[in-house]
Amino acid sequence: MQSAKTKVATMNPILTIVLKRLLIGLLTLWLVTIIIFGAIELLPGDIATEKLGQAATEESLAAFREQFNLNGPVYQRYLSWLAGAVTGDFGVSLANQRPISEVIGQRTANTFFLAGYAAAISVPISIIAGMMAALYNGSWFDRLLSSTTLAAISFPEFFVAYILILIFAVGLGWFPSLANIDANASLGERLYSTFLPAMTLTLIVLAYMMRMTRAAILNLLALPYIEMAHLKGIKRWRVIAVHALPNALAPIINVIALNLAYLIVGVVLVEVVFVYPGLGQVLVDAVSNRDVTVVQAACLIFAATYILLNLLADILSIVVNPRLLHPR
């Protein structure tokens, strides 16, 4: 009976904090929808005139505005767009008159696939590399690893992408320079075709996650319980892997989640370089074509994903934080 009461007392503050984070996340997402819709509304020029041209008649312009609900007050159009977005209905593309869900559906899946591919490579490597750097802190291996990863993040994404293309596509011919995939491609074909863009994203985010893992572990190595483990004769690698790493998970989870969010939001340049059929490429094309409805939908998906991953990082950090699991 006492144990059940203790569990309830322990979980209540955690649930309260989690609910607060959820409310903050929803409020942030709502504010983002206002910013996205308002930014599109503030664009100069008339959308109907831009799409139909200066030679369009008043009748055709009026019909276009009526078709795409451009005549009503701003607040009514915002509420209509928000209601549709909540249900997954983003409206119709101005460029090709197709439902936006059809235009961005497969492209969104492709972007998440590329981000997940890069995450599957970068997360395990960064954690293992961070642990190794902490294990051999101050050695030539630690310095080499730190300088190499720092060099990788010193260059912009497109530069890293072009270097990888030059070496592995043009020079060695191991991988294709264009990551052009279709819906019927097998998993193996997808992994092969998207290896270079995945490696580009991996090299960009690897240093942040590796250095945070290293720093979080090194901060714990001077604590009394770690010194006690050393005095008991436990090997250093076991102290780091078993005793230090679990208690360093909170900051590591935060930086991993932030970089996962970047993998999805920051793929635009990488998709353009490799001509990858993802959401970033759709966004660039929509901006070029002034297809504002598609721009709104793509920006909202990117923003919602970024907020969701940050929210997930906060919640996981709360769950693994011993100070919250055992409040005094």
**Residue-by-residue DSSP string for 36-78:** HHHHHHTSSS-HHHHHH-TT--HHHHHHHHHHTT-SS-HHHHH
Residue 111 CB coordination number (10 Å): 29
Classify residue 55: in a domain, yes or no: no
Domain around 230? 2-43+101-325
Q: Which CATH number fits the domain that encloses residue 259?
A: 1.10.3720.10
Instruction: Give CA angle at 184 (194, 203), nearest 5°.
Output: 10
Classify residue 63: in a domain, yes or no: no
Q: Which of 49-53, 90-94, 232-236 is predicted most confidently?
A: 90-94
Residue 144 to residues 103, 125, 134, 136, 141, Cα–Cα distance (Å) = 45, 15, 13, 11, 5
Classify residue 185: in a domain, yes or no: yes
Which region among 242-246, 273-277, 296-300, 322-326 has the lowest average model confidence (pLDDT)? 322-326
So what's the pLDDT on residue 230? 61
Classify residue 82: in a domain, yes or no: no
What is the number of alpha carbons within 13 Å of residue 270 lying toward its C-beta?
Answer: 30
Per-residue pLDDT tens digits for 163-173: 888 888 888 88
Gyration radius (Cα) of the chain, Å: 25
Q: What domain count does the chain have?
A: 1
Cα–Cα distance, 39 to 170 (Å, whole number): 41
What SS3 class is residue 87?
coil
Kindly indicate the confidence band of residue 9, based on its pLDDT and cuts at 50, 70 and 90: very low
So what's the pLDDT on residue 2? 47
Classify residue 57: in a domain, yes or no: no
Cα–Cα distance, 112 to 198 (Å, whole number): 11
Q: Is the pLDDT assigned to residue 290 strictly greater than 70?
A: yes
Is 292 within 8 Å of 94 (Cβ atoms)? yes
Per-residue pLDDT tens digits for 120-164: 888 888 888 887 877 777 778 778 877 777 777 777 777 888 888
Cα–Cα distance, 128 to 313 (Å, whole number): 20
Classify residue 89: in a domain, yes or no: no
Residue 193 CB coordination number (10 Å): 20
Kindly indicate the confidence band of residue 325, based on its pLDDT and cuts at 50, 70 and 90: low
Q: Taking each helix axis from N to C terminus, what angle separates 249-265 and 292-320, rounded to the nearest 10 degrees? A: 170
Is 37 within 8 Å of 296 (Cβ atoms)? yes
Classify residue 93: in a domain, yes or no: no
Classify residue 107: in a domain, yes or no: yes
Q: CB within 8 A of 231, min separation 6: which ones?
A: none
Cα–Cα distance, 147 to 212 (Å, whole number): 15
Mean pLDDT on 174-199: 81
pTM for this model (two decimals): 0.75
Q: What are residue 92's DSSP bridge partners?
A: 99
